[in-house]
Structure 1
Amino acid sequence: MKKHSNSFRILLLILLLGCGISITSQNFIHPGILHKEDDLARMRQKIAEKAEPWFTAWNNLRNSPEAQLSWSPRARETVIRGGTGDNISIMYRDVAAAYAHALIYNLTGSTLHGDKAAQILNAWSSINKSVSGNADRYLAAGLNGYQFANAAELMRDYPAFKLEQFKNYLLNVFYFPMNERFLIGNDWGAPHNDACATNYRVNWDACNMNAMMAISIFCDYKEGFDRALNYAKTGDGTGNINRAVNFIHSPIWGQWEESGRDQGHTMGGMMLYAIFCEIAWNQGVDFYGYGDSRFRKGAEYVARYNIMENGIGKYNDLPYTSYSRQMGSNCSWHTEPTLSSAVRGKYGAMWEMIYNHYARRTNQGDKVTSIYEILQQQPSINVPSMAAHPDTYDHPAVATLTFRTDSGSQILPWRNMDVMPQSIVALPNYGNTTLVDSTLTLTASGSGIRGTSDHFQFAFQRIIDNGSITTKLISPENSNENCQAGILFRENGQQNSPFVMLSLSQAKGLEFIYRDTVGKPIKEIYTDISVNTFPLWLKITRSENTFTAFTSINGIDWVEKATISVSLKRDLLAGLAASSNDLSTTITAVFEKARIDQGNIKPILTVNSPGHLDIGYIAPANVVISGSAFDMDGTIDRTEIYVNDSLAAKIKTSPFSYSYTNAEIGDYAIKIKTFDNSGAESQSQEMTISVGEKTNKLPYYKFDETSKLAYTADASGNNLNALLVGGTSVGTGKIDNGIVLDGINGYVRLPNSFLHLLSEFTISTWVKLDELKTWARIFDFGFGTNNYMMLTVNNGTGITFELKSNSLSQRVVTVRKPVINTWNFYTVTLADNTLSIYLNGSLIGVNTNFTLRPYNLGSTFANYIGKSQWTSDPLLKGTVDEFRFFNYALSPTEINDLMLGQSALQSISDSQIKIYPNPTRQKLFFRNASESIASIFDSTGRIIQSFKITDNTYSRNLDVQPGNYIIKLKDSKGSEYQEKLIVL
């Protein structure tokens, strides 16, 4: 692989990480939406010191109504913004409350506030199913989507917080149906609410861009992050930065998209765009500086025009170019010819964040003088409830507390923090790090890196997989003999994190120490009390889980001191550490020429399927093994797929997919390995799937109860009883009784514990409709509007089946509509990537490239007969009977047998009949099938051969064309046995 300079490799790494490339089980830095670990540490210190203006902002947060422990969540199934029933305030105030309690928990360690934040977030993810209303619903989804994700990001490791449930909530209520659909379009509909791309102003686009990016980070969804970033660069709407800042008037000023509308919307949209830049920055993407700092020019323009003096605008020297855009569904033109003074002086909640980036973080204070001036008028110390207008809930509170740093404190590309307890404790001293040329100076207090937890000043960068850290440690100033200084690899900034460290002190000399488990005592690998003089060059290298310590007197000739094998995460913080080992004093440790050398990063392997290892594969099974491979610092050479330790496939492309076909009964161990062009390897965990026999021991609902109960019994004997909900009653069925659904609130809810086991399947039922309602469901199994499989009696065209898993949807749409007040027999089968719909035994629709399976849905908890995942869809009105499942596809003949009420298929799990080999090259052997009649059916259900088996060790040459068949045996008592037959 081509070698790069260290600076280039670090830059490349930062850019790639910012694009959300997966490095472990995650894609992103966590926490990493609006606040990172070192940000939280800085806030704790400022509060403990009662430093202003941070402390005033903190008190405003603590005293806000939403931050009180008496706050109760008010989650609703449907939230409406705009139009009849508008109740959006219950959501945005709960979002503000969740954020306030999450932030207070992270700053104080108070589990009372942690529990409250978790309670609010869990309530919404359990109850809320949709964001509705007029076009303003997209504003609601954008504004609350990104802020919900930001609050949840701070709680992702909290025990009481339902992390996976909240991920599903954000994706299925916000991201796919609202945020992504609004900006770029997807299966939920066309973009921009079916209007012209520039119909909606930048504040609409920016809040949905924020939601896409924030939710993607929280859910480790790389594709979503990339889509949001790409839209900001090349999108067709006003969120494209070249439209948001539509005219560049000077190296300092850029005209904002809504400046000709009014200053209220201008301010709001620009603040939202600033949040987008900050979120991207926290993942390593500099969108603040994108396009020659185009956003900075727009922000400076907005700031200057909104600076007030004695109640009127102070500056009137801004140029303005007449701005035209297309509106509505017909894309008619609308022009704003002049700079609007309406709502001039509007408050902006995020000026502190914007100024902090340009003036303090990147030393461009001379280019944001108007932003500085307006910040003096509009300090970011308020909470939303302190203002009269509800738009103050569009942004997080108290930006001064959360974003303000000390002037000159930035040491990019390094970051620094005091590793210390997660609580606000007033300490005698705090640490700091400064960078001048190539010299890093750490001012440090703390109790040291000893025992089960640590307290020290830490300057660090991120490193992945292999690499090294090297520095020249100069003698600490103001030191005591117990002070520590050195270099280390560490998993995170928490006080009890695992680490490996090489340190030097006068009292202990040279030490190589580590902690391999969270909260455990440190262990010594190597000590040499005789090495206690400064300066000294130090180096640690990492190769997989092997860490090696070196010293040198000149930085050229290195002496290996010790090696240890410690299982740390792939993604580590590598850096410099110093501690006085005495809270009452500080030391100053100077490190010269500190360098992080990033080694070759192992390729990233993501496995998509098999996703659930308890899937009900049926012999002969088709097991799809798929995923993707990516290399952050090179290219992928190949991906290898192993089945039972044998190489089954070698694939050069990504994404990859391989079908392991004709798997017979048994267990199969699957492992995937991927290699980059330097030979580095990543591999999946071993996945074991089981292939079994056909069985119809799945739920079977006869609905033969004679009086209404709370449930209907599962006739299969598996005790998978179903709940009867709302307006249901007993009525006359096709066979004995059936369940009557009133079309108002009546439906059947099936259990959660079986659908994800299915691969190939058959679902059949009798239904007599009282009304033919568009989108009424015969069944809908899944969770939310992004993961489901459903059969509707009419999608506007005809009977339709759809299986949707996240962003991928596959369907069969027919032109047949059922007749009402008549019993109809519906059957859906899936086998060999062919999805078929039958009505009354006749094939009415087919898709021969149907690759999704029920197991792609994962564990489903909303499995309905007569009800949709979509709350806006009507409920089915009619009678349902004989609803049953099979874990294989019935043949056309068997479907007709089932429809005619014959014993279609007995359970064969206990049968002693054997037919082999299968697949066969023509000759078949039969065991324990004497006196049975054998029939072979082709794919259309036509019998092509029939013969009698005369003894229990019978054989026969078939003499049929190669292909797939069904062979059925029927004995003298009428019992039947069948299986799929493959002739080669």
Structure 2
Amino acid sequence: MNKLLLLILVLVMSVIADFAEAKRIEIPPITEGHPRLLLKKSDIEIIKQRINQKQEPWFGGWTDLKASLDKQIENNREPKPYTGPDCLHGFFPVCDKDANYARDLAMAYWITGEKKYADQSLKMLAGWAQNDPLPGADFDPNINYPALGMAVGRASMAFIWTYDLLYDYPDFKPEQKKAVEEWFQLLLSHLKEGIKRWEENDFYDKQYYQNHVASDCMATLAIGYAIGDEELVRYALDSEKNSRDVLDVFEGCILMRGKKLYYRDPQPRNVHNGEISDRYRHFELGGHNKSGYVTKPNRGLQYCSLTLLLMTTAAEIAYNNGVDLYSYSAAGGENLELCFDFYADFYRLKDDSLRGGYYIGEKDRIRPLIEAGVFELGYKRYPKNKSIELLLSSMDRAKSEMWILGRPAVYFGQPIGSK
């Protein structure tokens, strides 16, 4: 009888644990083959077709990219893995540069079928993942302590995507894949340590939602889907075990009228639906941590664009694996399309006085070809959104380049007015 009661108790506790685990969305098993992160095979076939038919902006963007890649191959560009102690000013810029090059090479292989691009891409990826010592193995916690997760997440994202794109390449050997996955586990440990540092320090003066936490969850999600770890995917997307999962970040980073803002925001009443929490980077603020760092002023739009990019990248990865975050609205009505709606006109009109004038002073830093590339993904998923359509119609889309997304018009662009 006691054994029966014990069994019943275990079953009841298991059920309670299941209900306690957050289930705001359904997360299906991973069934997609590679590539499955930001582009699928069907997406790439459409890209190839548009390039072959010399459609713009795909043909112009691709022609420029191919010329750049060919020149770098001709110049025998080599991987330059950073193995030093500085996650932010050492690892970040070097890894980001090599990772974006590797990603574009992998895309060039898919577009042309030419082996030289895949070989060079694999050389870059393996050059980091198989280096001894491993990049990221010796970060010094006394150097840029708060930046760990953000720096690792943003810098490595294009390498994670490269792994996904190259996965079925015949010359990508099992031992190389194993080495890459082991390196990703090291990077994952930094992502988890990064968010832990913020939690243990009250998010450095109560900066509860901003680009750092968005970078952490985006890269964690990408690693989960890249290596096929369903438990990690759930942890990244929607889990009580993760205080800053993707859904939490959406709800926290997307502002709504009447929502409580960062307590040091000087204009707490001037807020619109779809603004992003990083807007307070418009102001010069110090005292977030003991380092004495003071934020540079007039960076509100820049950092809001960054967080929008990180959230949208996570949304696209989820979407390609059966989780539609583009249609998802949090409890307060927070939805990704609101962000695209709010910020599109700033980049189209290059006018910092819009929407109540909060961002006045940032006109010289409104850079559509650098920061508005994420609107290509926005238009792909919100094809009836006129604000996005007007913005893209005003841009020389083929020339746009952006963090993580590379050549967004080439990779994600859609014909204007097609739907």
Q: Would you call these one fold, judging by a TM-score over 0.5?
A: yes
Q: Is the 8 A contact 2:106 2:117 kept in 1?
A: yes
Q: State how far apart, in whole Å, the 1-side matches of 2:301 and 2:241 are.
A: 24
Kindly report which structure 2 residues correspond to 1:336-351, keeping only aligned pairs within 5 A, or say none: 338-339=358-359, 341-342=361-362, 345-347=366-368, 348=371, 349-351=373-375
Q: Give how far 1:92 is off.
A: 1.2
8 Å CA contact 1:380, 1:400 repeated in 2:
yes
Contact 1:350 1:399 in 2 (8 A): yes
2:302 to 257, 264, 287: 264
Deviation at 1:267, TM superposition (A): 1.2
Q: CA shift at 1:87, angstroms? A: 5.2
1:182 is matched with 194
- What is residue 376 of structure 1 aligned with on the other side? 393
- Within 5 Å, which residues of 2 pair with 1:234-313? 235-236=243-244, 240-248=249-257, 253-261=273-281, 262-291=300-329, 294-308=335-349, 312-313=351-352
Instruction: Determine the structure 2 residue equivalent to 1:222.
Output: 230
Name which one, 1 or 2, has greater alpha-carbon Rg. Answer: 1
Structure 1: segments with no counterpart, 5+ residues: 1-14, 184-189, 321-337, 360-364, 385-391, 411-984
Aligned to 2:183: 169
- Whose relative contact order is higher, 1 or 2, with alpha carbons under 8 Å and at least 6 apart? 2
CA pair 245-379 structure 1, distance change in 2 beyond 3 A: farther
Q: Does the C-alpha gap of structure 1 residues 140 and 110 become closer, same or farther in structure 2, counting only changes over 3 Å?
A: same
How far does residue 228 in structure 1 lie from its aligned partner after superposition? 1.4
Pick closer, same or farther for the CA change 1:165–1:282 going to 2, 3 Å.
same
Q: Could you tell me which amino acid in structure 2 is paired with residue 224 of structure 1?
A: L
Q: Return closer, same or farther for 1:303/1:160 CA change in 2, 3 Å cut-off.
A: same
- Specify which of 127, 130, 138 is matched with residue 136 of structure 2: 130
Q: Which residue of 2 aligns with 1:203?
A: 211
Displacement after TM superposition at 1:97 (Å): 1.1
Change (3 A) 1:237 1:277: closer
Kept in 1, the 8 Å contact 2:209–2:252? The answer is no
Does the alignment pair 1:102 with 2:106? yes
Partner of 1:403: 412
- CA gap 1:67/1:193 in 2 versus in 1, 3 angstroms: farther
Map 1:728-877 onto structure 2 (within 5 A): none
How far does the alpha carbon of each residue in 1:317-366 deviate from its partner, in whole angstroms, 9 at most, with x for none? Answer: x259xxxxxxxxxxxxxxxxx5564355233221111112101xxxxx1x
Asked if the contact 1:210–1:275 (Cα under 8 Å) also holds between the matched residues in 2, the reply is yes
Deviations 1:875-917 (A, max 9, x none): xxxxxxxxxxxxxxxxxxxxxxxxxxxxxxxxxxxxxxxxxxx
CA distance in structure 1 between the aligned counterparts of 2:72 and 2:26, rounded to whole angstroms: 36
Whole-angstrom distance in 1 between the partners of 2:408 and 2:184 = 24
Q: Distance in 2 between matches of 1:18 and 1:403?
A: 26
Query: In the TM superposition, what are the counterparts of 1:621-700 in structure 2 within 5 Å?
Result: none
Q: Are the aligned partners of 1:31 and 1:154 in contact in 2 as well (CA < 8 Å)?
A: yes
Q: Can you list the C-alpha shifts for 1:68-125, whole angstroms capped at 9, x where unaligned?
A: 3132111233463346xx3533211110111011000111111111111111111111
How far apart, in 2, do the equivalents of 1:232 and 1:117 lie?
A: 37
Match of 1:57 in 2: 61
Distance 1:254 1:62 in 2: 37
Q: Contact (CA 8 Å) 2:274, 2:334: kept in 1 or not?
A: no
Q: Unpaired runs of 5+ in structure 2?
A: 1-22, 259-271, 282-299
3-state DSSP class of the match of 1:68?
helix
CA contact (8 A) 1:254 1:294 kept: yes
1:355 aligned onto 2:359: no
Is the Cα–Cα contact under 8 Å of residues 105 and 118 in structure 2 kept in the other structure? Answer: yes
CA contact (8 A) 1:303 1:374 kept: yes
Residue 194, structure 1, aligned to residue 189, structure 2:
no
Q: Which residue of 2 aligns with 1:112?
A: 116
1:141 aligned to which of 145, 152, 156: 152
3-state DSSP class of the match of 2:256?
strand
Contact 1:381/1:401 (8 A) holds in 2: yes
Give the fraction of aligned pairs with identical amino acids, expressed as a percent: 20
Structure 1: distance between partners of 2:79 and 2:199: 30
* CA distances 1:104-154 after superposition (whole Å, capped 9, x unpaired): 011111111111111111111111341634132322211123221111100
Counterpart in the other structure of 2:78: 72
The verdict on how the C-alpha distance between 1:66 and 1:96 changes in structure 2, with shifts beyond 3 A counting, is farther
Higher strand share: 1
- Kept in 1, the 8 Å contact 2:347–2:391? The answer is yes
In 2: Cα distance, 1:114 partner to 1:18 partner: 35
Please list the CA deviations of residues 724-744 of structure 1 after superposition, one character each: whole Å capped at 9, or x if unmatched: xxxxxxxxxxxxxxxxxxxxx
Indicate the structure with greater helix content. Answer: 2
Deviation readout 1:940-963 (Å, 9 max, x if unpaired): xxxxxxxxxxxxxxxxxxxxxxxx
Spell out, residue by residue over 1:842-875, the C-alpha distance to the aligned partner (whole angstroms, 9 max, x if none): xxxxxxxxxxxxxxxxxxxxxxxxxxxxxxxxxx
CA distance in 2, matches of 1:253, 1:48: 41
How big is each residue's C-alpha offset from its partner over 1:549-585, in whole Å with a ceiling of 9 and x where there is no partner? xxxxxxxxxxxxxxxxxxxxxxxxxxxxxxxxxxxxx
Displacement of 1:196 after TM fit?
1.4
SS of 1:227's equivalent in the other structure is: helix
Relative to 1, partners in 2 of residues 1:141 and 1:371: Cα closer, same or farther, differing over 3 Å? Answer: same
Q: Could you say if the C-alpha distance between residues 56 and 233 of structure 1 is closer, same or farther in structure 2, counting changes exceeding 3 Å?
A: farther
Distance 1:408 1:19 in 2: 32
Map 1:701-712 onto structure 2 (within 5 A): none
Deviations 1:447-486 (A, max 9, x none): xxxxxxxxxxxxxxxxxxxxxxxxxxxxxxxxxxxxxxxx
Deviation at 1:404, TM superposition (A): 2.0
Q: Does 1:90 align with 2:104?
A: no
Letter in 1 for 2:275: Q
Name the CA distance, whole Å, in 1 between partners of 2:414 and 2:163: 24
Q: 1:82 to 1:66 in 2, by over 3 A?
A: farther
Query: What is the TM-score normalised by the length of structure 1?
Result: 0.33
Answer whether contact 1:263 1:340 (CA < 8 A) is retained: no
- The answer (yes or no) to whether the contact 2:149–2:194 under 8 Å persists in 1 is yes
Give 1:489-638 correspondences, 5 Å limit.
Answer: none
With over 3 angstroms needed to count, the CA separation of the structure-2 counterparts of 1:232 and 1:78, relative to structure 1, is farther
1:236/1:130 CA distance change after superposition, 3 Å: closer
**What is the distance in 2 between the residues matched to 1:88 and 1:111?**
29
The 1:265–1:119 alpha-carbon spacing in structure 2 relative to 1, beyond 3 Å, is same
Name the CA shift for 1:49/1:307 in 2 (closer, same or farther; >3 Å).
closer
How many angstroms does 1:52 deviate by? 0.9
Give the distance between the partners of 1:209 and 1:91, measured in 2 at CA: 19
Distance 1:79 1:88, change over 3 A: farther
- Is this contact kept in 1: 2:254–2:274, CA < 8 A? yes
Confirm or deny: 8 A CA contact 1:138 1:204 kept in the other structure.
yes
Q: Measure, in 2, the Cα distance between the counterparts of 1:101 and 1:293.
A: 36
- Displacement of 1:299 in angstroms is 2.2
Structure-2-length-normalised TM-score: 0.73
Q: Which amino acid aligns with 1:376?
A: S
Q: Are 1:99 and 1:117, in contact at CA under 8 Å, matched by a contact in 2?
A: yes
